[in-house]
Chains A and B, each alone.
Chain A
Amino acid sequence: MHKRTVATRIVGFCLGGTILLLLPLVVRNDYVLRVANMMLIYSMLSLGLNLTTGFAGQLSLGHAAFYGIGAYSTAILALRLSLPFPWTLLCSAVIACIFGLLLGIPTLRVAGDYLCIVTIGFAEIVRLVFLNWMSLTRGPMGLPGVPPAQLFSFVFLDNRSYYYLFLVLASATLFVIWRIVGSQIGRAFIAIREDPIAASAMGVSIVYYKILAFAIGAFFAGIAGSCFAHYLMFVGPNSFNVDESLIMLQTVILGGLGSIPGCLLGTAIIVVLPELFRPIYMYRMLWSGILLIMLMLWKPQGIMGKVTLGHLVRRNKLFASLKSKAVGLMRK
């Protein structure tokens, strides 16, 4: 790596860090802080999804399910068992992680766009369970009255204290993901993304790393979900639908698959931009659709991405032979 890039990175990191640390001291507007808090929650989601999709190449459109599982776990644990805060966070992350392991299992047999459909199916089943398991989740009414986060005797009540809490958690997420990506695990992920068959020939266990990619992504989504539940003090099934998964994938694709700074930038754009143009806020999803199309047409690798989407799925021989057989059947 060139010295200059290292220097720019350090400068950028320090600058960004200072701005983020000082932001709540300068800005006293609750609304701005609220947006910033949501941005921090989304950055945890986006970082996790970037690991699964950007680095390990497992396209997931079901990330909202883990977010929802984290949020509901926190709400249920806090309301039913009155578990205190740090434990709810930890338990939710672990529960989401277990579901991530579960979703990771089909990835062993399914890849590419089929996998994407499996993840959507999984997310929809999870949402339907939230919606219909009345005795546990109160269905469409949701779970109100989740207690605020509390560390020892300090209760997080205002936006500013939450901001620092989320900043710490998001930084921890960033650090862990950054270390994972730089480690042997990260290299294994990239090897699987680039060519699973070659990777397995080189002794990379595809089973282990694919499942691990989902589990890690889900773990951080669980943390984000837990933060969301404590912060909003309410959990409802509509916060975790397909659109939510789409927004998360969008943050990752916009910033650039497989790029950590890109995914933070993507999150900032996706979360903040609609707030800046408040009059068009209700057309948010319309604009994001147009944005997705334009991105694919002109810059499919995203703002800071190095990976082109072509790497994610190659036209495989399996499909070609399958198709010719199917066409043969159709002709009969």
Chain B
Amino acid sequence: MLSQQLINGLTVGSIYALIAIGYGLAYSILEMINFAHGDTYMFGTFVCLTFLENGMNPFLSVFLAILIGGLLGVVIERLAYRPLRAASRIAPMISAVGVALVLRNGAQLIWGPAAYSFPPLLPRVVLFVFGLRLPVLQLYIFAIAAVLVLAISVLLKRLRLGWAVRAVSQDLEAARLMGIPVDRVITLIYALGAGLGVAGGILYSTYYSTVFIGMGFSGTMKAFTACILGGIGNLYGACLGGIVLGVAESLTAGYVSSAYRDAITFGLLIIMLVFRPSGILGRKTSQKV
């Protein structure tokens, strides 16, 4: 029972990690709470569902959905966030709330408010290893998420693009002076974040075999919680935070009450923000006047 819950938690946690990475990347650069992140991934997942229902090849439709999600991220950044970059931190955040509302209600207009069942993209076989029940679906999800996370971390460490991203997130102005095309890098970060989010959303929908409008808002909150848990601006922190959150949720669902599963997310978030806002992997800093 406990091992089962842990496996479930790890699976969900790896999905949360994927969603959180994209979110954390954008946050670490612009210090902006992107309320539209979850709604972008919800939108992309719905797009994927539409493709699948029209009989498109699963690989192609997932790929296209991720692409469209990334494109959506670019458009949102261009229209609603970039003009506000010089403003305070609150203005782009409220603008993001507006984007989230537009996406959520736009999706509701296009697809309706109902929850749809999501077709099984991955095999649902169960393996037994040393008496442990190992659903293949969960292994797949975990593996896909791990591969994507590794790919991103390689990208950030080894490629020139990754250097540019790190430079921009350290000091935007200095990076601009060094000739780094800051605007393009930021656009790319949003595209990457949204694309990863859609990948996470598709995995989520495959795992729970459902897709619904409300998963956008809860996705935003979960991504944020994961980032805060692990420590903002830290790639591995976001992963760790996602997994801790997933395990905490599935243990709550298993041992306390599944109705209060989301309450655990928010409870953890508040406790973390109040007592250790720099996260598990972050360090304490003091405020200077």
Residues of A participating in the B interface, judged by any CB pair closer than 8 Å? 59, 106, 109-110, 112-114, 116-118, 120-122, 124-125, 128-129, 131-132, 197, 242-243, 246, 249, 253, 283, 285-286, 288-293, 295-297, 300, 308-319, 321-327, 329-331
Contact = CB atoms under 8 A, between A and B. Distances in A.
B37 to A, nearest CB: 13
B281 A329 contact: yes
A323 B28 contact: yes
Lowest 6 A-B CB distances belong to which pairs?
A289-B101, A292-B98, A326-B233, A121-B266, A310-B88, A286-B105
Which of under 10, 10 to 19, 20 to 34, or 35 or more describes the interface residues of B? 35 or more
B270 interface: yes
A297 B275 CA distance: 35
Most buried by B among A319, A321, A323: A323
Interface stretch (B56-64, B182-190, B196-204, B256-264): B256-264
Nearest to A292: B98
Interface of B: 28, 31-33, 79-80, 83-84, 87-95, 97-106, 109, 156-157, 166, 169-170, 217, 221, 224, 228, 231-237, 257, 259-260, 262-263, 265-267, 269-270, 273-275, 277-278, 281-283, 285-289
Contacts of B106: 286
A9 B105 CA distance: 40
Contacts of A330: 156, 166, 233-236
Given A110-B277, A289-B101, A116 B93 contact: yes
A186 B39 CA distance: 38
Given A109-B274, A286-B109, A326-B237, A317 B260 contact: no
Contact of A290 (B91, B102, B269, B286): B102
B206 to A, nearest CB: 26
Given A297-B95, A325-B285, A121 B269 contact: yes
B88 A314 contact: yes
Contacts, number: 186
Contacts of B282: 322, 325-326
10 contacts: A118-B274, A124-B266, A128-B259, A132-B260, A286-B102, A288-B101, A296-B87, A296-B92, A296-B98, A323-B169
B102 A121 contact: no
Contacts of A313: 88-90
B99 A106 contact: no
A143 B234 CA distance: 46
Contact of B263 (A114, A125, A308, A310): A125
Contact of B31 (A124, A300, A319): A319
A326 B221 contact: no
Given A289-B98, A315-B88, A318-B285, 14 more contacts: A113-B90, A116-B33, A120-B266, A286-B105, A293-B80, A296-B84, A296-B92, A297-B95, A309-B87, A315-B31, A318-B288, A324-B170, A329-B237, A331-B157
A114 B33 CA distance: 9
A290 to B, nearest CB: 6
Contacts of A117: 33, 221, 224, 228, 269, 273
Given A253-B94, A286-B109, A323 B233 contact: yes
A312 B94 CA distance: 12
Contact of B288 (A249, A288, A309, A317): A317
Nearest to B281: A329
Contacts of A197: 289
Contacts of A326: 28, 231-234, 237, 282
A59 B187 CA distance: 28
A181 B266 CA distance: 33
A94 B269 CA distance: 27
Contacts of A325: 282-283, 285
Nearest to A113: B33
Given A128-B262, A128-B263, A325-B285, A312 B102 contact: no
Contact of B91 (A112, A122, A285, A300): A300
Nearest to B289: A197
A124 B33 contact: no
B217 A106 contact: no
A296 B94 contact: yes
Contacts of B92: 296
Contacts of A291: 98
A48 B233 CA distance: 35
B232 A125 contact: no
A262 to B, nearest CB: 16
A122 B266 contact: yes
B267 A125 contact: yes
Contacts of B80: 293, 296-297
B65 to A, nearest CB: 22
A112 B289 CA distance: 16
B89 A113 contact: yes
Nearest to A291: B98
Contact of A292 (B94, B278, B286, B289): B94
B285 A289 contact: no
Contacts of A329: 231, 234, 237, 281
A10 to B, nearest CB: 34
B274 A312 contact: no
